[in-house]
Amino acid sequence: MTQDPGRSAPAASARGLALLRDPLLNKGTAFTERERDALGLRGLLPPHVLSQDEQVERFLENLRRQPDDLAKYVALNALNDRNAALFFRVVCDNIDEMQPLIYTPTVGLACQRYGHIFQSARGLFIGANDRGRVAQVLRNWPLRAGIIVVSDGERILGLGDLGANGMGIPVGKLSLYTACAGVQPDLCLPVILDVGTNNTELLDDPFYVGLRQRRLRGAAYDELVEEFITAALEVFPGVVIQFEDFANQNAFRLLKHYRDRICTFNDDIQGTAAVALAGIFSALRITGGKLGEQKVLFLGAGEAAIGIADLIVAAMASQGLTEQAARARCAMVDSRGLVVKNRTDLSEEKRRYAQEHAPIGDFPAAVKALKPTAIIGVAAVGGTFTGEVLQEMARINQRPIVFALSNPTSKSECTAAEAYRHTGGRALFACGSPFDPVTLDGRSFVPRQGNNSYIFPGVGLGAIASRTRRITDEMFMTAAHTLAHDVTESDLEQGSLYPALPRIREVSTHIATAVARVAWRNGLAAGREPQDIAAHVTSQMYDPHYHRLV
């Protein structure tokens, strides 16, 4: 018997019902006659042998009959629980249709309803009640983890504190690691740090899956995180740890505390930054402008805004601006208005972007006063790029850059149709949620998501392939340039600032190769640099087609 890449011998030697219940090895009705005889499957399956292609068609027929997207999400997760290869074939071959179902926007509703649609546990729930035994909990995971996505559920998308219901996010992110970049599924470990929730609706919900207590804070919280990090490195040496959907108060400080100690990154800060910067690079290919000439106004001043601004500043500095001059070209509006120097309520991160300006109370007024070339929405407040805002951007810019990046769709700052209509079709638009093509005055526009799935899967694959000790800002800068380079002229002609989603594995391979090259160049990678890094990266990628087990 041969074994799949990354699988251990004991798992690959499963037989009979144990084999059918192993989603990483199960092929269902596609087991051949020879495999059925050799593996004790005779009689446990219907006699007709189907090809994987036939299984895909049958599943799609059933999926498309489901009444709504949440039902489709449940059906896809059930498929992943029983047959991973078939799940990833379905997703990879139909990525435009499936990504919105397995991740944004549907995953937001799935997290809100998590306890009510719960079918089986995926990943590890590490609770505040597990302090002192986290390593033991991690050893309950039966596979060798190569990458962990961990959240404490406090800032799930734009939906806020969903506690342990936030497990849908690590699960969804890791599905995208495999679908979009070919990271081996058995290397992927979703983790929720269940430190409680301050969401009273959840605490009163009889089907809530998490601890029924208020959130852990202060030293006790930090001690649990530290125990988790230490235990993860002990149980899974060299593991990549991605922080996901932590609230601002913890996201920045945890990244700062651990980034030079372990192989880690925060996708909400660094992944969002890279995908946004790539979109700006693409937009400037259309306008012919220079990055250092742009004036960027953010709606929102949290981790996404700060992360994007930090990477824009680094990119401007690499092109000759001083850091101070670059920061002056990035302004932010939060719930209290423009972030200005005389405000006393600013965090350390916000203060870096405080403007020398009189107070301005709202976003439309800030647009009129500051005259930005680009507006980036990351505040998760739906409808805030109003007709007034969009028309003003079109008045002061020939080609205004408008990024409505909040998700899910209900939180989007504007729709694609609104962006194009209110700017006479001149907006260079990117979105955080999917929108259909728009026809205006006989011209068709194809908006594409500035979705982090263009960045983080490739970064993760590059980190795994190089076994880098750290993930650096240079890697994210390189990822942004690589992504923008993969946008074709035909993409730009139709208003698309990102590549077509069906090219995502190709794009991720390019990003992973670039990231791995940075790791080896900077002495961060393990082992000797391969002669052909791209070939080395490709050799690590998961193929969701069935492999012969006999």
Active-site residue flag, 173: yes
CB 478 within 8 A of CB 521: no
**Longest alpha-carbon distance in the chain:** 79
Long-range contacts from 532-535, C-beta under 8 angstroms, 24+ separation: 534/509
Beta bridge partners of 243: 150, 266
Q: How far apart are CA 142 and CA 123, in angstroms?
A: 11
Active-site residue flag, 368: no
**Token pair 């590549």 is at which residue?**
499
Write out the two tokens for 304.
């996404």
CB 513 within 8 A of CB 533: yes
Identify the CA nearest to 247 among candidates 255, 239, 237.
Answer: 255
Beta bridge partners of 266: 243
Burial track 285-296 (b if 16+ CB lie within 10 A, e otherwise): bebebebbebbb
CB 413 within 8 A of CB 433: no
Of the candidates 27, 72, 173, 350, the residue annotated as catalytic is: 173
Identify the CA nearest to 431 among candidates 414, 456, 410.
Answer: 414
Of the candidates 27, 72, 73, 103, the residue annotated as catalytic is: 103
Q: How far apart are CA 108 and CA 168, in angstroms?
A: 8
Identify the CA nearest to 117 among candidates 152, 158, 155, 66.
Answer: 66
Write out the two tokens for 348.
């350390």
Q: Is 438 helix (H, G, I), strand (E, B) or coil?
A: strand
Write out the two tokens for 361.
């109370």
Report the alpha-carbon angle 520-523-526, nearest 5: 70
DSSP tally for the chain: helices H, then strands E: 26, 13
Long-range contacts from 463-466, C-beta under 8 angstroms, 24+ separation: 463/147, 463/240, 463/263, 463/515, 463/516, 463/519, 464/146, 464/147, 464/183, 464/187, 464/240, 464/540, 465/512, 465/516, 465/536, 465/537, 465/540, 466/515, 466/516, 466/519, 466/520, 466/524, 466/525, 466/526
Beta bridge partners of 282: none
Query: Which amino acid, one-letter code, is at 456?
Result: F
CB 263 within 8 A of CB 468: yes
Beta bridge partners of 332: 298
CB 238 within 8 A of CB 467: yes
So which residues are the catalytic ones?
A: 103, 173
